[in-house]
């Protein structure tokens, strides 16, 4: 099975040099559904940030989608990010763009023609059950709806990897259920690798998943 | 409405720069035109023992553009009633030559002094009248006017630059989030900054067309033309080609510098 992520002796630290992840070794296969858990401040989000090149490695090696992230050039990093979908707890939608344009963003970055991209946006809006909200701006939607827009954006360009940082952290039960369904669907139907950082793994999940737990800077797989 | 307000803040800052710049140009042109006007009315009188040609005068100092001999007839006429015609002819021969010297441009007091010294160095020239007192007063007034306008333009420029830097901080805050989000999905720098550059160029064009429109209107406004005519000068208030190009060029340059500073100062958040 292809490995999408390979970490060898990976250490991560912020600028104050305090090590957050210490010499971690793990790998994630293609089409895996992975949960990363840990207490607050354990380094879950830091690890996720490093997976899309948002943080420089302190030590070791991290390969994502065949790209080594240590000393990566800006253009190579952009190339990698064009194949990753990211979902954040605070949605990170562009407020001055309507939701169609927000979803279209990765398609335009990947060089799709606008008419093709618009078709894809229409399909995705239906998929996330927001086709009745087309043309609206993020702040006109509820938190759950904004997160579905963020999900649609993460799925738009058919990425090899979806990274989700507490995607249901701010949502009610109904909206959370919809987000988990979308992540499951991407993993089962499109064989996309999904990595979710969360406090609580939902009990109603229908996929087989791997579970990594972070404690005192070490990552270990929970069987 | 919000979008119009966003545009207005930079457009107004640019407009104030373009307005003060164009006003400075108009004042410069008015002063130059007034100097030409003054130079046409200002001349130096030189008294010489013998005849001096125009070329000889030009060799003495290149500021001299022409010389004209003043006929002694008017002076002699007043004396002629008591004199015989033979004596008058004799007097004419003994009288020195009077010359009215026209200058190429309106000189500074230092240039007038230098011209006087140069003329007196010539052995045949015995006296020079440069009307330096009147000249100095007019020249100092012109200089004062020019300095006041320059100072005013600098003050406007400083205030506007401060305004633009405040605007820069607002833009940085506003555009940073969008640029960071685009960066998360792998947008290249040019694509992340494209919206910013497009916005700033649109604002620059709006500000340029507004100021071009206002100055084009003012240049044909009778009251303003009349004001310049009343002091005997004809000033180009607005040159449709040259001034338009300068206005558009300055506005776009400022906007591009502003946008580039934002792009350079952009720190990616994740």
| pLDDT 10s digits, B244-270 | 999 999 999 988 988 888 888 776 654
B230 against A196, higher pLDDT: A196
Per the document, the length of chain A is: 223
Are A180 and A209 in contact by the 8 Å Cβ rule? The answer is no
Q: Which residues of A touch B270 (CB under 8 A)?
A: 49, 52, 54-55
| pLDDT 10s digits, B2-18 | 567 667 878 888 898 89
B2 against A39, higher pLDDT: A39
A126 against B8, higher pLDDT: A126
Are A91 and A150 in contact by the 8 Å Cβ rule? The answer is yes
Are A182 and A21 in contact by the 8 Å Cβ rule? The answer is no
At residue B268, the pLDDT reads 64
At residue A155, the pLDDT reads 94
Is residue A55 over pLDDT 70? Answer: yes
| Residue B233 to residue B37: CA distance in whole angstroms | 7
Predicted ipTM of the assembly:
0.90
At residue B140, the pLDDT reads 81
Q: Which residues of A touch B266 (CB under 8 A)?
A: none
Q: Which residues of B touch A81 (CB under 8 A)?
A: 183-186
Do the chains contact at B186 and A82, CB–CB below 8 Å? yes
Q: Which of B177, B180, B188 sits opposite A78 (nearest CB)?
A: B188
| Residue B270 to residue B268: CA distance in whole angstroms | 7
Do the chains contact at A78 and B184, CB–CB below 8 Å? no
A204 against A112, higher pLDDT: A112
| Residue A87 to residue B185: CA distance in whole angstroms | 11
A-chain residue closest to B267, CA distance? A54
Is residue B84 over pLDDT 50? Answer: yes
Distance from CA of A92 to the nearest CA of B (A): 7
Q: Which residues of A touch B184 (CB under 8 A)?
A: 52, 54, 81, 86, 92
Is residue A119 over pLDDT 90? Answer: yes
Q: How confident is the model at residue B230 (pLDDT cuts 50, 70, 90)?
A: confident
Is residue A62 over pLDDT 90? Answer: yes
B171 against B240, higher pLDDT: B240
At residue A159, the pLDDT reads 95
**Total-model pTM:** 0.70
Are B197 and B10 in contact by the 8 Å Cβ rule? The answer is no
Q: Is B194 on the interface with A (CB under 8 A)?
A: no
B-chain residue closest to A55, CA distance? B270
| Residue A41 to residue A21: CA distance in whole angstroms | 11
Q: What is the mean pLDDT of residues B170-199?
A: 86
Q: Which residues of A touch B178 (CB under 8 A)?
A: 94, 96-97
Which one of A48, A49, A54 would you mutate to disrupt binding with B, by most B Cβ within 10 Å of its Cβ? Answer: A54
Share the mean pLDDT of chain B: 84
A188 against B4, higher pLDDT: A188
């Amino acid at each position: 099975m292809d490995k999408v992520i390979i970490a060898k002796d990976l250490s991560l630290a912020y600028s104050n040099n305090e090590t957050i992840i210490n010499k971690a070794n793990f790998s994630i296969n293609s089409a895996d559904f992975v949960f990363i858990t840990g207490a607050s401040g354990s380094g879950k989000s830091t690890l996720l940030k490093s997976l899309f090149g948002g943080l420089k490695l302190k030590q070791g090696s991290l390969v994502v989608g065949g790209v080594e992230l240590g000393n990566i050039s800006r253009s190579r990093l952009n190339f990698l990010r064009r194949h990753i979908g990211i979902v954040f707890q605070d949605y990170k939608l562009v407020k001055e763009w309507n939701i169609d344009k927000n979803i279209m963003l990765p398609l335009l970055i990947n060089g799709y023609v606008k008419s093709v991209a618009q078709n894809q946006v229409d399909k995705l809006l239906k998929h996330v059950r927001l086709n009745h909200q087309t043309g609206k701006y993020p702040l006109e939607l509820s938190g759950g709806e904004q997160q579905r827009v963020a999900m649609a954006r993460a799925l738009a360009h058919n990425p090899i990897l979806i990274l989700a940082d507490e995607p249901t952290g701010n949502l009610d039960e109904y909206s959370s259920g919809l987000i988990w369904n979308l992540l499951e669907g991407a993993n089962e139907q499109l064989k996309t690798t999904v990595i979710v950082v969360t406090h609580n793994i939902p009990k109603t999940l229908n996929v087989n998943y791997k579970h990594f737990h972070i404690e005192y800077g070490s990552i270990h797989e929970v069987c | 409405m919000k979008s119009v307000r966003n545009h207005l803040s930079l457009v107004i800052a640019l407009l104030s720069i373009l307005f003060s710049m164009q006003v400075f140009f108009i004042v410069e042109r008015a002063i130059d035109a007034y100097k030409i006007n003054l130079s046409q009315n200002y001349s130096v009188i030189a008294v010489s023992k013998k005849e001096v040609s125009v070329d000889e005068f030009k060799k003495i100092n290149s500021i001299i553009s022409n010389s004209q001999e003043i006929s002694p007839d008017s002076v002699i006429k007043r004396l002629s009633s008591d004199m015989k015609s033979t004596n008058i002819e004799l007097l004419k021969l003994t009288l020195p030559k009077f010359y009215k010297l026209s200058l190429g441009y309106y000189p500074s007091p230092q240039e007038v002094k230098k011209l006087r010294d140069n003329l007196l160095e010539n052995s045949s020239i015995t006296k020079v009248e440069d009307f330096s007192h009147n000249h100095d007063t007019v020249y100092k007034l012109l200089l004062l006017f020019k300095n006041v306008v320059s100072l005013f333009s600098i003050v406007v420029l400083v205030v506007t630059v401060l305004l633009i830097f405040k605007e820069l901080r607002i833009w940085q805050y506003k555009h940073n989030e969008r640029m960071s989000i685009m960066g998360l999905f792998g947008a290249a720098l040019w694509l992340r900054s494209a919206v910013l550059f497009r916005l700033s160029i649109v604002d620059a064009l709006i500000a340029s067309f507004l100021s071009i429109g206002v100055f084009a209107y003012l240049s044909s406004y009778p009251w303003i033309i009349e004001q310049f005519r009343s002091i005997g000068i004809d000033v180009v208030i607005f040159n449709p080609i040259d001034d338009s190009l300068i206005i558009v060029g300055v506005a776009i340059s400022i906007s591009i510098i502003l946008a580039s500073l934002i792009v350079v100062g952009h720190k990616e958040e994740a």
